[in-house]
A and B are shown apart, each in its own frame.
Chain A
Amino acid sequence: MKDEHDVSAERAHTSGARYVAALIGLLCLTGTSLGLHFAQLGAAGTFVALAIAAVKVLIVALVFMELIESMAATRFVATVAVVFVALLCLGILGDVAFR
């Protein structure tokens, strides 16, 4: 487990190869989203597109924003922000669905 005060851990930098792999992955996922849009999946299409978007944002956060190498406190802040947004949207959806 990473020590909270081990600042040197944050100095471990992402390699260039990982950046290139992330770029290729993101472009492939964008192509997949577009392809599935034309495949006409119906109502499921929206959820699939949003799920792919979530994976893409995760790649951006972990690799490009180097969250994977960040300290626990930084990862906690990022996670809490995303969880709050998800809670807000799910709460609103629940309110509308069960009104």
Chain B
Amino acid sequence: MIEHAPQHAEARLEVQFEDLAKQEHAARFGMWVFLGSELLLFAGLFGLYTAYRATHSAEFGEAVHHNALWIGTTNTVILICSSFTVAWSIHAIRGGRERTTTLMLLLTMLFGTAFLVLKGVEYSQHFREGILPGRHYAFAELPGHGAQLFFTLYYFMTGLHAIHMIAGLGVMTWLVRRVIARRITRSSHTALELGGLYWHLVDGIWIFLWPLFYLATR
């Protein structure tokens, strides 16, 4: 027998909570703890960047010139706009505007996809020039060890970020399906808020990657 979702899903109170407000707070708090652990995952790489930047300052500065500034900047604008559309989707669902919520989430997915496409274009340019991570590095213009370290970190940090973007797109797809199925509604939208928090974290990490890999020439 097929079970149909209710026309307007109501938030379900789990047995361990006294009321919905406390349940929602626990969910949000748990998500923030998860985001904190995600941040510490990137912290090791930011720490490595700090150390190698301090010891190979000149080579890092030269290497920055070989990243495509226009792609990095466009991707920054894209991610900022996507954070806005996610925030607006939550704002819309709180007002009961489910179509606007769906539209904003689809726009977010479009922004996310555009980001990944541009990142792919930049990676392919690097591959053609021999800018590869680790011992595969073969860029003739910058043969030094510092440049090799810079681009290895570049691939690790932007690659890890891209994996998070792909995961975020998966979350957005799931959220869109739930909004369309009316499983996420004005009275039950904690999942949308938590998905939005994850997307904003991914945006926040890129906000720091942009100056480190595209602007810091000295």
A-side residues, CB < 8 A to B, are 7-8, 10-11, 13-14, 16, 19-20, 22-23, 26-27, 30, 33-34, 37, 41-43, 45-46, 49-50, 52-53, 56-57, 60-61, 63-65, 70-71, 73-74, 77-78, 80-82, 84-85, 88-89, 92-93, 95-97
Point out the residue from A41, A61, A81 that lies within 8 Å of B40, measured CB to CB: A81
B39 within 8 A of A: yes
With A46-B216, A49-B211, A93-B54 known to touch, is A78 a contact of B84 (CB < 8 Å)? no
The interface centre, meaning the residue of B86, B203, B211, B218 with most chain A CB atoms within 10 A of its CB, is B211
Instruction: Please report whether the interface of chain B is mostly helix, strand, loop or mixed according to DSSP.
Output: helix
With A19-B87, A33-B211, A92-B50 known to touch, is A71 a contact of B25 (CB < 8 Å)? yes
B77 touches A30 (CB 8 A): yes
A46 touches B218 (CB 8 A): yes
B-side residues, CB < 8 A to A, are 19, 21-22, 24-25, 28-29, 32-33, 35-36, 39-40, 42-44, 46-47, 50-51, 54-55, 69, 73, 76-77, 80-81, 83-84, 86-88, 91, 94, 196-197, 200, 203-204, 207-208, 210-212, 215-218
List the B side residues contacting A65 at CB < 8 Å: 196-197, 200
Given contacts A27-B80, A33-B210, 18 further A-B contacts (CB under 8 A): A7-B21, A11-B21, A16-B91, A30-B76, A30-B80, A34-B215, A45-B215, A46-B211, A46-B216, A53-B210, A64-B87, A64-B200, A65-B197, A70-B32, A78-B36, A81-B35, A84-B43, A92-B47
